[in-house]
Structure 1
Amino acid sequence: MSQTLSNIFVTPAEMTSVDKDAAHSGIDSFSLMRSAGTAVSAAALRLYPGALRFVTLCGPGNNGGDGYVAAAALAESGACVTVFALGEPAKLKGDAARARERCALAPGPLDGYEPQPGDVVIDALFGAGLAREVPKQARNVIGRVNASGVPVVAVDLPSGIDGRTGEIRGASFVAAHTVTFMAPKPGHLLMPGRARCGTIEVFDIGIPGRFVVGRAGDLHINTPTLWEEHLGALDPEAHKYKRGHLAVFCGGSASTGAARLSAAAGLRAGAGLVTLASPVEALATNASHLTAVMLKEIDGTADLSAWLKDKRLSTFVLGPGFGVGKTARDFVLMLCDRALVLDADGITSFKEAEEQLFDRIAEEGGEVVMTPHDGEFGRIFPGIAADTALSKIEKAQAAAKLSHSVIVYKGPDTVIAAPSGRAAVNVNAPPWLATAGSGDVLAGIIGAHLAQGMPSFEAAAAAVWRHGEAGVAAGRTATAEMLIESMPPL
């Protein structure tokens, strides 16, 4: 795969346009199908050389055509191969019909397949373009295969996964390996589809990369290539203020730990100075726990207004353990001209005042990053959250545009989206990142990146990736404190 395509992905509609562009350029579409099907057969033989039988399940479209090519190639290699088809193979059209004619194996009806020990299934029923419920006949076979535990090699995407949203359309195979072509699709990256793809192999079938890039939107897999040009080398003569001053707001005396986690993460992530802004009731508690992080009494809007006169205060984090209510709203509205990470209670405080927040962000022009999980997203973007037609990527994009901020829509498939429509999906986070305080650590890392001058989208994307790497390094028993200590340098 070329470096140009290394971290982009395309929607099924965009991939359809890429295929048409290739055909219009004079590239033989059947040669692309042969390349795809042959790649699948090679993967199956490589992964399962001891298979007693390869069972190819072919659908009624071009994905089925890929399956017929794969079945023929497997048979030519000397493997035992059986083919089962959904629908009537005689009604196939175009390249799929041509592939069926060239396959010497006579297909049986799909519902006639019963998994046997030693089988390896080649799933070529439906590809990434599926956007409807899987028919009953296919659902029955999918259920039998999944229950049997026989391995599945999926062509393009496990059948039953919506390639645009990652949602399950009634039922889907749980593949051990998926071979897709030219670039991943959202269904490979978004949950629950991602969990059903197994290992993902992206195979170049011979379409020029410029066709893919030309049709691709601004969608990326979150890797360092996306933001590394913004890292810059720290000036060895820089003083601490040049590395940015990050301020983290703390709540009352009974809920100080979350803010301290954010502050500690911000310091570890590279901010030159970190101050914990604390109400008077929590000063003693915080003072007993802090060393390198400084402490500032901020007990109301008057204190904050006076503090904001110091223009070296470049970046703020508000939300972790702060408390929901008017104080949070008042503070946030005073900070919308700065760089601000709005998390947790800071988001929920605007549950019934979201328009006021969005209008203030637009007026003040600060760099605001919001970091909602599913519940918080639904509270501040109720209309978008309720739209079941949208994918998680599309929801994050719509929220970013509406709020004039960068959205970090958290989860096992965290999506980072900018108001411009630019978006990235994160793939390096281990499941054990879902631990108490993990989101507080992430907020602090984003704040540190903003404080050091990274643009808001890149600051957020780099922080999400760095957070995932910290989780991998910390291991399965990770706590939030361990994430901070395990954070890799950029």
Structure 2
Amino acid sequence: MKAVTASEMRLIDQTAITEFGIPGVVLMENAGRELARQIALRISPVRDRSICIFAGKGNNGGDGFVAARHLVNQGAQVKVCLVGKKETLTGDALVHFETIQRMEIDVLELAGERDWDKAGIAVTFADCLVDALLGTGFHGPLSEEMNLAVDLINAAAKTVIAVDIPTGMDADTGQISGKAVKAAYTVTFGLPKQGLYIHPGAAYAGQISVIDIGIPRHLMESSEIRQNITTPGHIQRILPVRPVTAHKGDCGRVLLIAGSQGMTGAAALAATGAIRAGAGLVTLGIAASLHDIMEVKLTEVMTRPLPETVGGSIGVKAIPYVEQMVKQTDVLAIGPGLGRNEDTLTAVREIVKSNEQPLVLDADALFAMVDNTALLKETGGLAVLTPHSGEMARLTGLSVAEVNQERIFIARQAASDWQSIVVLKGPCTVVAFPDGEIFLNTTGNPGLATGGTGDVLTGIIAGFIAQGLSSHDAAVAGVYIHGLAGDLAARGRMIGMTAGDILPEIPQAIHMACHRKGKYNARITHGKIRYTE
């Protein structure tokens, strides 16, 4: 599913109006009618229920006016709290406001202190609050009146439904300017706004419903829209299908260079992640002194001892051995727990430079790329980089705060500059392709915030590439399956969940993704797809 910026959605709306002749007042009618239907679903039965709609002066408020009319027709008791004076309304919103006035729907203009007191009373007795204050055009700090409205809504402890986006959220970045409405549900029109999935905004959006309002389909599927929400249907289409005649050689060969003294666990997690993702053969190259340990620890993974440094990590003498092994593999993954000995980092850079296979770089291999990202253009195979925000900050010279402020923009720019696929990990992991295409992930949970989970992801992506997926598809599917396995592992035990808990859930996650029409139902909550039996 495509996701849009605020400017992209405005252009789509305007094109529908000017080129297809769909009046704006009709689009607003469709949006408000569908909003009313969603409200009725959330507080069913709607008859005799008290609903308070907070409306602004723009199109967002207009959607609220239409919804008010339809809800009244269904027997609800509706009060519209208009922030500002009705004389300031214009355009399509004014048309629909005049209609609710003719229907004598209760409208309270919030222009003075007594009006706000009346609104507080209305909120106290309401069954549901609707945030139709500000839409996707909002940027910067809220006005004093909007701050009052947001405080009133958030303090009410009622079911809150936001229209298009919660007021106070930036539709493009998900950033919150001071405060924002905390919604249980967000009803967004046409296409989802990308900021709904990026934290902190995702925590304010609640369960997201994307509603068709009659915009021509090809406008919403335009190739010029470069952001996508990763959906179960997309993953189902791209996951590898294993024929009944398959043997281990058909399922791909992964070469993993990982581990060092004190960090053998990272190597084990990544290697097992590749096996669990379906790779036929996985070989781990590790410092010679650690080889015997891994022989015992990893039953299904082949191990190869490599020349090492004094500190127990691979050194430059390992380069020819790795280069030879790469020739018999389908993908090279390098970095988990590798260590930061200068000899090791030099070896990583030389291996990247000479490599001719698809490449996955994580952890200490990313550290080796600091001030050396030009090497990524020299490697013979397309590289997939999997940095978290701290690693991305180091690679780009930015602060972590700056990375988190503009995650989509920074991931996209880095992918273009480095001509690599960038997997910017975190809540709503961003997968960026060199051509500017973006995928926003919808699985995962805070239980994944523990050491080793990134190593598992490295293994999953490498395992998918080995099975024949393009690096692009493997990155998107790998992130999704990794998050879904984390969701399965977290059921009833999110706190204290370990990276090792994810590994046995990977096959089940793949099965669920491949058979999404089975007994599992999906819903999007806080920008993530949740599964229930």
Normalised to the residue count of structure 2, the TM-score between the two structures is 0.85
Cα distance between partner residues in 2 of 1:145 and 1:106: 17
Equivalences, count: 480
Quote the Cα distance in structure 2 between the aligned partners of 1:458 and 1:107. 52
The offset of 1:447, in angstroms, is 1.0
Give the stretch that moved more between structures: 293-302 or 469-478.
469-478
Superimposed CA distance per residue, residues 28-87 of structure 1 (whole angstroms, 9 cap, x where no aligned partner) = 211111111122222222222367521111112111111111222222333222222222
Alignment match, 2:504: 485
Q: Who is 1:445 aligned against?
A: 460
Cα deviation digits, residues 112-163 of structure 1 (max 9, x gap): 1213044421111011221222112211221232122122111111111111
Query: Are 1:323 and 1:345, in contact at CA under 8 Å, matched by a contact in 2?
Result: yes
What's the secondary structure of 1:165's corresponding residue? Answer: coil
Secondary structure of 1:240's counterpart equals coil
Asked whether the equivalents of residues 139 and 170 of structure 1 are also in contact (C-alpha less than 8 Å), the reply is no
Give the partner amino acid of 1:40.
L
Return the offset for 1:385: 6.1
Equivalence for 1:4: none
Question: Counterpart in 2 of 1:333?
Answer: 350
Q: 1:21 aligns with which of 15, 18, 22?
A: 15
2:430 paired residue number: 415
In percent, how many aligned pairs have the same letter? 35
| CA-CA distance at 1:216 after TM superposition | 4.9
1:359 equivalent in structure 2: 374
Q: Per the alignment, do residues 63 and 118 of structure 1 end up closer, same or farther by CA in structure 2, a change over 3 Å counting?
A: closer
Question: Structure 1 regions of 5+ residues with no counterpart?
Answer: 1-6
**Counterpart residue number, 2:519:** none
> Contact 1:385–1:395 at 8 Å: present in 2 too?
no
The match for 1:275 is 283
User: What are the superposed Cα offsets for residues 177-209 of structure 1, whole Å, 9 maximum, x if unpaired?
Assistant: 111111111122111111211111111111111
Give the SS at the match of 2:65: helix
Instruction: Give me the whole-angstrom Cα distance separating, in 1, the residues matched to 2:223 and 2:470.
Output: 26
**Which of 6, 15, 28 lines up with 1:12 in the alignment?**
6
Q: Which stretch of structure 1 is more off in the superposition, 253-262 or 232-241?
A: 232-241
Take 1:389 and 1:224, find their aligned partners in 2: how far apart are those partners? 26
Q: Give the corresponding residue for 1:38.
A: 33
SS of aligned partner of 1:81: strand
Alignment of 1:108 with 2:109, yes or no, is yes
**CA–CA distance in 1 between the matches of 2:249 and 2:377?**
27
Deviation at 1:224, TM superposition (A): 4.7
Stretch moving more, 272-281 or 429-438: 429-438
Residue from 358, 374, 379 that aligns with 2:394 = 379
Counterpart contact for 2:163–2:187, Cα < 8 Å: yes
SS, match of residue 408 in structure 2: helix
Q: Tell me the CA shift for residue 230 of structure 1.
A: 4.6
CA contact (8 A) 2:196 2:205 kept: yes
Residues 304/404 of structure 1: CA separation in 2 closer, same or farther (3 Å cut): same
AA aligned to 1:431 is P
Give secondary structure in 1 for the equivalent of 2:152.
Answer: helix
- Decide which of 115, 133, 136 is 2:141's aligned counterpart: 133
Contact 1:314 1:339 in 2 (8 A): yes
SS at the partner of 2:506?
coil
Aligned to 2:361: 342
Shift of 1:277: 1.0
From 415, 418, 428, give the equivalent of 1:403: 418
Instruction: Work out which of the residue numbers 421, 437, 442 in structure 2 matches 1:427.
Output: 442
For 1:224-239, list aligned pairs within 5 A: 224-226=232-234, 228-239=236-247
Alignment pair present for 1:90 and 2:79: no
Alignment-derived partner of residue 61 in structure 1:
58
Pick the aligned partner of 1:187 from 195, 207, 211.
195
Question: Are 1:158 and 1:196, in contact at CA under 8 Å, matched by a contact in 2?
Answer: yes
Q: Deviations over 1:370-414 (max 9, x none)?
A: 111111111111249675796321111111111211111111210
CA distance in 1, matches of 2:427, 2:88: 41
Indicate conservation of the 8 Å contact 1:245/1:272, yes or no.
yes
Native 8 Å contact 1:384 1:399 kept in 2:
no
Aligned partner of 1:302 in structure 2 is 317
Counterpart for residue 176 of structure 1? 184
For each residue in 1:429-458, what CA deviation from the matched residue of structure 2 results, as whole angstroms up to 9, or x when unmatched? 233222331111111001111222221111
Question: Residue 313 of structure 1 aligns to a residue in which SS?
Answer: coil
Paired amino acid for 1:65: G
Any residues of structure 2 matched to 1:468-483 within 5 Å, and which? 468-476=483-491, 477=493, 478-483=497-502
Q: Residue 57 of structure 1 contacts residue 124 of structure 1 at CA under 8 Å; is this kept in 2? A: yes
Q: Is the 8 A contact 2:259 2:265 kept in 1?
A: no
CA distance in 2, matches of 1:236, 1:54: 57
1:472 partner amino acid: D
Which residue, out of 110, 126, 130, partners 1:122?
Answer: 130
Q: What whole-Å deviation, never above 9, does each CA across 1:73-112 have from its counterpart, x for those lacking one?
A: 2223332222222222212111011111111233321661
Determine the C-alpha separation between the residues in 1 that align with 2:427 and 2:246.
37
8 Å contact kept, 2:428–2:443: no
Provide the secondary structure at the position in 2 that maps to 1:180.
Answer: strand
Contact 1:128 1:187 in 2 (8 A): no
Change (3 A) 1:371 1:11: same
Deviation at 1:250, TM superposition (A): 2.8
Q: CA deviation at 1:460?
A: 0.7
Q: Are the equivalent residues in 1 in contact too, given 2:27–2:214 (CA < 8 A)?
A: yes
Q: Is the partner of 1:106 in helix, strand or coil?
A: strand
C-alpha distance in 2, partners of 1:88/1:215? 42
Q: Pick one of 409, 414, 426 that aligns with 1:394.
A: 409
In structure 1, the partner of 2:150 is 142
